[in-house]
Amino acid sequence: MVTVLVALVVLAASPLTRAAPAQAADQWNPPANLVQPLNEVWNHVSTTYPDLYGFRNYGWDQVMANRGSINYCVRWESDAPVGTALRDQVHAALKKQFGKWTAAMLDNGTGHNAWPYTSVPVNIVGWAVKNRSTLQWTDNSVDVYAGNLDSGGAPQCAPDCGRFFHQDGDYTKCPGGAARHYDQSLWLTKGFQGGAGGDWGQRVGQEYFTGALSQEDIHIYLHEVGHTFGLDDFYDWTPTGQCCFLMNAGSATQITEFDKWMFRDFWRHLKSRYGL
Ligand SMILES: [Zn+2]
């Protein structure tokens, strides 16, 4: 009797009995003062967009489909010439700015709540332009699409290579195959004011983006990337206690703590679709 009881006590105290199950528990630990406003945001989003659980082309889906990277097409809707230096500066800025969102998924270098990627490389696989002569580089380090225009007359990379058009991941008609497919477009339009963003990418003014290349935060672009990952606007309400954050347009110029936790909350609600 006594022996059995002792064995039971030891077993109950053993770490083995508290080992993590095969599916990790939800690690949701926002700062206490953000719990209520985050719940308000999720309630708002999930009732305003009841289809969100069926939508399969968020930035999350794209990164996961690529196993941890993202491919871009740059749509240069402008006649301003682009040399090698500007081309490479655009890529560097894109890496840095996009990386601010993916870094928001890390705690001391470790993925938050089963987020699997410590870095998410950003590749530019194509530049689209109306006239080839606008692009003044001569190397072939990136594919160029000249004169491929959408229905509105704006240059685009080949739709055969675009995830927006091939959400099943079938890029067999893309000349470069899946490796040269693009998930998103950075659409830079001369004279365009403000921004737009969605699963297809982000659109901002060409002059704005090239004028902001050296800025720490290209905030309109950053806001639009938030939309790519499902975050909403706040035109008609604000969550309790939160006035100023990137997704509340005009109130902040960088990703704030509240933006970071809204981003993480979106992942929390979608991650089960990846078996996490
Ligand atoms: Zn917006």
- What is 164-190 written as a DSSP string? TT-TT---TTSTT-GGG-BSEEEEEET
Cα 124 to ligand 1 centroid, rounded to whole Å: 24
* CATH architecture of the domain covering 31-274: 3-Layer(aba) Sandwich (3.40)
Q: What is the pLDDT, as a whole number, of residue 193? A: 98
Which range (1-15, 61-75, 195-209, 224-238) has the least confidence? 1-15
Residue 23 pLDDT exceeds 80: no
3-state secondary structure 51-113: HHHCCCCCHHHHHHHCCCCEEEEEEEECCCCECHHHHHHHHHHHHHHHHHHHHCCEECCEEHH
Cα–Cα distance for residue pair 224/196, rounded to 1 Å: 6
Residue 232 pLDDT exceeds 50: yes
Which range (16-20, 66-70, 118-122, 156-160) has the least confidence? 16-20
Cα 199 to ligand 1 centroid, rounded to whole Å: 13
Q: What is the pLDDT, as a whole number, of residue 27? A: 86
**Structure-model confidence comparison of residues 68 and 15, the more confident one:** 68
Cα 233 to ligand 1 centroid, rounded to whole Å: 5
Residue 16 pLDDT exceeds 50: no
Torsion angles phi and psi, residue 96, rounded to 5: -65, -45
Q: What is the pLDDT, as a whole number, of residue 24? A: 57
Q: How confident is the model at residue 20 (pLDDT cuts 50, 70, 90)?
A: very low
Mean pLDDT of the chain: 92
Cα 248 to ligand 1 centroid, rounded to whole Å: 8
What are the domain boundaries of the chain?
31-274
Cα 232 to ligand 1 centroid, rounded to whole Å: 7
Cα 249 to ligand 1 centroid, rounded to whole Å: 6
Which of 234, 184, 226, 238 is closest to 69 using CA atoms? Answer: 184
- Cβ-contact 243, 73 below 8 angstroms: no
Q: What is the pLDDT, as a whole number, of residue 18? A: 47
Interval 132-137 mean pLDDT:
97
Cα 220 to ligand 1 centroid, rounded to whole Å: 9
Interval 186-209 mean pLDDT:
98
Cα 32 to ligand 1 centroid, rounded to whole Å: 26
Cα 226 to ligand 1 centroid, rounded to whole Å: 8
Q: How many CB atoms lie within 10 A of CB 160?
A: 15
Q: How confident is the model at residue 6 (pLDDT cuts 50, 70, 90)?
A: very low
